A and B are shown apart, each in its own frame.
Chain A
Amino acid sequence: MGASWLDPHRRNRSVSDVSPLEAEVAKLIVRTLTLKVDPAQIQPEEPLFGDGLGLDSIDALELSLAISQSYGHQIRSDDPDIVATFASLRSLCRSIEKHRTK
């Protein structure tokens, strides 16, 4: 069982190679979902949903709203890449990069 990045105990980890968009979306996630975690501590490759205090479908809905408002990307479940999209911060940002209109 891998720990989720939402765990407040996973601090003091050095984070490198985070793109500007990833840093921006990390802040958006923390703000939208009122998480108790420093956006800079979100590991770009770690799962968003799942183990520990993973996100759920309400979060997915809230997050999709924030993303559509900030980037104009409408997320939908019948997108064949939906599972991959929400897999990690990095994959989410790749999807935003591909579909953004603002």
Chain B
Amino acid sequence: MNRAALLGLYHADRVLAWENGYSITYGRFLSDVEALADLLPEKPTVINLTDDRYRFLVGFAAALVRGQTTLLPPSRAPGALAQVAREYSNSYCLVDGTEHVEPLPSYQIPKSTGGQNDTGKVPQIPIDHPAIVAFTSGSTGNPQPHFKTWGSLVAVARSTGARLGLMSSDQMTVVATVPHQHMYGLETSIMLPIQHGMAFHVGRPLFPEDVRLALTDVPSPRMLITTPLHIRACVTTRLRLPPVECILSATAPLPRSLAKEAETLFQTRVYEVYGFTEAGSLATRRTVDENTWHVLDGITLHQESAGCSLHAPYLREPVLFPDLVSLQGPHRFMLHGRGTDLVNIGGHRSSLNDLSQKLNEIEGVQDGVFFLPDEKGTAVTRLIAFVVAPDKASEHILSALRTVIDPVFLPRPLHLVPHLPRNETGKLTREALLGLLQNLHNEERHGT
């Protein structure tokens, strides 16, 4: 059976992780993985909820060694976790806090064993082993599972590293503001480092000042893995960062003007990564001087009647783009916008259909719809919901929603209305919803 190494290169003394100025070496990592792998229960799937990036990686690697699959729930909302727990009832959870998903058993990832693996025996993982399952919200309301083989994760990490010109001799350290339980975060802050002998900071900075402290905590050269939201925050506060070799941005389009400001202010290169769950990261661009996206090596693009598809040796079948793109030859494309049903807020992806369906399942809701108003400026645009629920207060509906959807998708605001402007075929057009919104605004202005 074909196998690929857990680590792209191995030196026992090389640093893998930084925590409050202390380093954890690759040697200690292998010994931690070995120790944890012996303790894991005999189950096929695991939900790894650890917040600490190093402990997440130890859990992920130990699961790989044991031939287990790590599930990446679509969100931390209790309802979403419960749904994954129901579908994969023979799972267990790995945690580093007090989190618990009923009725699954939870195991704490212990603090590092402090041992040193001197054998230098790097685990070899079968390339067709399903390493993770990521979920997308399907239009049916049930999350759709997407199995990612170990081979595909390794291939994407290697081609991303090649594109960025990562040299193993020049060890970069990653600081990431994105969660490692999402595809983008897993690929860039976990897989990229371990396949290129890089190091990472164990934390997940949120505020600009956190980002500065985390970067200051690790040695140069540094790479910041983040989102347009965080880049804007860092630029706006005129943050004085230590030297950063490059910044990766994903989850939403990065305005070119903002990329330019960040490059000048932080004396760095800013790259955007484009991907989606079904295919993983697939293209990059240097935002300041490229309009088109350049696919990673090994990927080719094809125009089909249903849309654009991409082919890669590690994808079992071609995958259609969920977004509107036009091809510029087999290796480049232009992105024209998100598919109309998909929403992406602060890196969390969902579909309006799915959210609306969850809304309509709430007791007392007779009719309801989620709606994304036109984007204004660079601020994050939030969703709006129109709900027909004569006997319920909006507070009741919101607290019910909170248990089934990620908080970033909670409507802001939720409008209670007598009825929805459905047309004769029962459809709700965007124009009708915009009109309804306009009417509500006018009423407010007139104080009625």
- Residues on A lying within 8 angstroms of B by beta carbon are 1, 3, 7-9, 33-36, 51-54, 56-58, 60-62, 64-65, 68-69, 74-78
In the complex, chain B residues whose CB is within 8 Å of the CB of A9: 393-395
Q: Which residues of B contact A3 (CB under 8 A)?
A: 395
B382 near A34 with CB under 8 A, answer yes
How many Cβ-Cβ contacts under 8 Å join chain A to chain B?
Answer: 75
For the complex formed, measure the closest distance between the CB of B412 and the CB atoms of chain A, giving whole angstroms. 7
Tell me which residues across on chain B come within 8 A of A78, comparing CB atoms: 210, 213
For A60, what are the chain B residues with a Cβ–Cβ distance below 8 Å? Answer: 206-207
Q: Mark B191-214, 1 if CB is under 8 A from A, else 0.
A: 000000000000001111110010
The answer to whether B343 has its CB under 8 Å from any CB of chain A is: no
From B207, B229, B345, B382, contact of A74 by CB (8 A): B207
B346 within 8 A of A: yes
User: A59 to nearest B CB, angstroms?
Assistant: 9
Do B207 and A61 touch across chains, with their CB atoms under 8 A apart?
Answer: yes
Contacts of A75 in B (CB 8 A): 207, 209
Q: Are B236 and A76 in contact (CB under 8 A)?
A: no
| Measured CA separation A69–B239 after assembly (Å) | 12
CB pair B407–A56 under 8 Å, yes or no, is yes
Q: Are A52 and B207 in contact (CB under 8 A)?
A: no
B233 to A52, Cβ gap below 8 A? no
Partner of A52, one of B210, B237, B380, B398: B398
Roughly how many angstroms separate A59 CA and B371 CA in the complex, as a whole number? Answer: 20
Q: 14 more A-B contacts (CB under 8 A) besides A36-B413, A58-B345, A58-B346?
A: A7-B398, A8-B394, A53-B413, A57-B346, A60-B206, A61-B206, A62-B380, A64-B207, A65-B208, A69-B237, A74-B208, A74-B209, A75-B209, A76-B213
Q: Which residues does chain B contribute within 8 Å of A1, judged by CB atoms?
A: 399
Q: List 19 A-B contacts (CB under 8 A).
A: A9-B393, A9-B394, A34-B412, A52-B395, A53-B398, A56-B408, A57-B206, A58-B346, A58-B380, A60-B206, A60-B207, A61-B229, A61-B230, A65-B208, A69-B237, A74-B237, A75-B207, A77-B205, A77-B206
